[in-house]
Amino acid sequence: MFLAKQNNGKTHKLMMQETVASYLFLLPFLIFFVGFVVYPMFMCVYTSFFDATMGRADIFIGFQNYAELAGDPVFWKGLKNTLIIVLVSVPVTCIFSLWVANCISKMPVAATSAFRCIFYLPVVTGSVAVTMVWKWMFNNYYGILNYIGTATGVIDKNINWLGDERFALGCIILILLTTSVGQPIVLYVSALDNVDKSLVEASSVDGATDLQTFWKIKWPQMMPTTLYILVITTINSFQCFALIQLLTSGGPKNSTMTIMYYIYYNAFKLYRYGYGNAMGVILALIIALLSAVQFKLGQEKN
């Protein structure tokens, strides 16, 4: 696009200068990025063609790891669960945080600020601590959820929330939600703050309802924020690991098994590095695809 003009000597020289300057600016980042993300990713692809384990040289086996993956039911289960987590938690996080932000932004400043902090608390409390408390709340024998549930008659007997394959994944998603809405709420509040007030007033003078004002005026202006939130929430959901490691180890009956946990399990419990890496490659491809789709959508809407 820049080269649309005639490519004479002068612009070429300018272009070179600009490129050199750009890479000097990029250099510090590139050292870290190429050295500790791109290179390991490359090694990951490479190792996925080997039978690699501890204590002996790697053996080249071609696509055998991938072939084994295709026939591994736990892998497919893990893939399914990972996608469920992402597909449920991303929209719910976005909608929930938008609703909360919309409500608290209309409150007095002190209240807005207090609520913003409160919804951020699980993020700062740390996953290990939050998980410990939730485990207690979900406890089969005396957990508070069962207590409230039976007291109000919603459930007729105690449910083993984390031990029942019908509920375990839902519980994981619920905890994930509480630790991931903090930032979206903060961002939405500030985005709502920055919405052009004159447009909002003009629209209500025109007799538009709150809902109409929201959709016609506020929502379009918040699109960049929404896209940003979509991106970080997707990242968050894919990285959901500590919860599973600390609560269920992928059980019961693999109902909370995710690709991430399965990679970890293969690499660190069974020392199957090549197999784990092959899974990593598949996951990376899926994520790259998803990111591309998100971006295409984001660009079109703009």
Partner 1 sequence: MAEKKRSVYDIVSFVLITIVAILFTFPLYWIITGSFKTKMDIMSVTPVWWPSEWVMDNYDTLMSKRTAPLFEFFGITGPTIPAAIRWVVNTVFMSVTSMILTCITAAMAGYALAKKRFVGRGILFSLIVCAMALPKQVILIPLIREMSALNLYDTLWAAIIPIVGWPFGVFLLKQFCEGVPGEMIEAARIDGAGEVRTFVDVVVPMIKPGIGALAIFTFINSWNDYFMQLIMLTSNSKLTISLGIATMQAENSTDYGLLMAGSALAAVPIIIVFLVFQKYFTKGITLGAVKG
Partner 2 sequence: MKRKSLAVLLAASMIMSMTACSSKPAETTAAATEAAKETEAAKETEAAKETTAAAAEAAGAPVELSLWTYPIGDWGDQATVNELVAKFNEAHPEITLKVEYLTYQDGDDKVNTAIEGKTAPDIIMEGPERLVANWGAKGVMVDLSDLWTDAVKGDTYASVEAACHDASGAYYEYPLCMTAHCMAINRDVFEETGAWQYVDEATHTWTTENFLKAVQTLYDAGYANVGAVFCGGQGGDQGTRALINNLYGGTFTNADHTEYTANSAENVKALETLVAQDGINFDPAIVGGDEINLFVQGVLQMAFCWNIAQEVNNAETLTFDAFPMAFPSDDGVAELCGGIWGFGVFNNGDEAKIEAAKTFIKWACDENTEDCVKASTYWSTRESLADMYAGDEMKTEYGQFMQYMGDYYQVVPGWATARTEWWNMLQKVGAGDDVAASVEEFVKNANEAAK
| Cis, bond preceding 73 (omega within 30 deg of 0) | no
For residue 43, the partner it binds in partner 1, partner 2, none, with Cβ less than 5 to 8 A by kind, is partner 1
Q: Which is nearer to partner 2, 102 or 254 (CB)?
A: 254
**For residues 137-176, which are near partner 2 according to CB under 8 A?**
138-142, 160-165, 168
| Beta-bridge mates of residue 51 | 59
233/248 with CB nearer partner 2? 248
Q: How far is the CB of 31 from partner 2 (least distance, A)?
A: 16
Q: Which phi and psi angles does 255 have, rounded to 5°?
A: -75, -15
Question: Smaller CB distance to partner 1: residue 169 or 279?
Answer: 279
**Cβ contact 54:60 at 8 Å:** no
Answer with the entry of partner 2, partner 1, none that 295 interacts with (C-beta below 5 to 8 A by kind). partner 1
Q: Which does 253 bind (CB under 5 to 8 A by kind): partner 2, partner 1, none?
A: partner 2
Q: Which is nearer to partner 2, 117 or 144 (CB)?
A: 144
Hey, what are 200's tokens? 């909002």
- Compare residues 168 and 185 and give the one whose CB is closer to partner 2: 168
Q: How far is the CB of 204 from partner 1 (least distance, A)?
A: 9
If DSSP codes are grouped into helix, strand and coil, which group holds residue 140? coil
Which 26-85 residues touch partner 2, going by CB under 8 A? 53-57
Q: Are 174 and 90 in contact (CB under 8 A)?
A: no
How many residues line the site for partner 2 (CB under 8 A)?
28
* 249 touches partner 2 (CB under 8 A): yes
Specify the residue, 125 or 160, whose C-beta has the smaller distance to partner 2.
Answer: 160
Question: Alpha carbon of 260 to those of 124, 242, 251, 266: distances in Å?
Answer: 23, 10, 14, 10
Draw the binding track, 255-284, toward partner 2 (x: CB under 8 A; -: no contact): ----------x--xxxx-------------
Closest CB to partner 1 among residues 126, 165: 126
Which two tokens mark 78? 């893990």
287: which 2 tokens?
Answer: 């994520």
**Contact with partner 2 (CB under 8 A): which of 131, 248, 258, 277?**
248
Neighbouring CB atoms inside 10 A of 264's CB total: 16
Whole-angstrom CA distances from 232 to 58, 84, 127, 132, 237 are: 36, 17, 17, 25, 9
- CA distances for 167 relative to 120, 159, 161, angstroms: 26, 9, 6
- We find the least distance from the C-beta atom of residue 161 to partner 1, in angstroms, to be 15
Query: Is residue 102 within 8 Å of 192, Cβ to Cβ?
Result: yes
CB atoms within 10 A of CB 6: 7
Among 11, 125, 221, 254, which residue sits at the site for partner 2 (rule: CB under 8 A)? 254
Q: Give the residues lining the site for partner 2 (CB under 8 A).
A: 53-57, 138-142, 160-165, 168, 248-249, 251-254, 265, 268-271
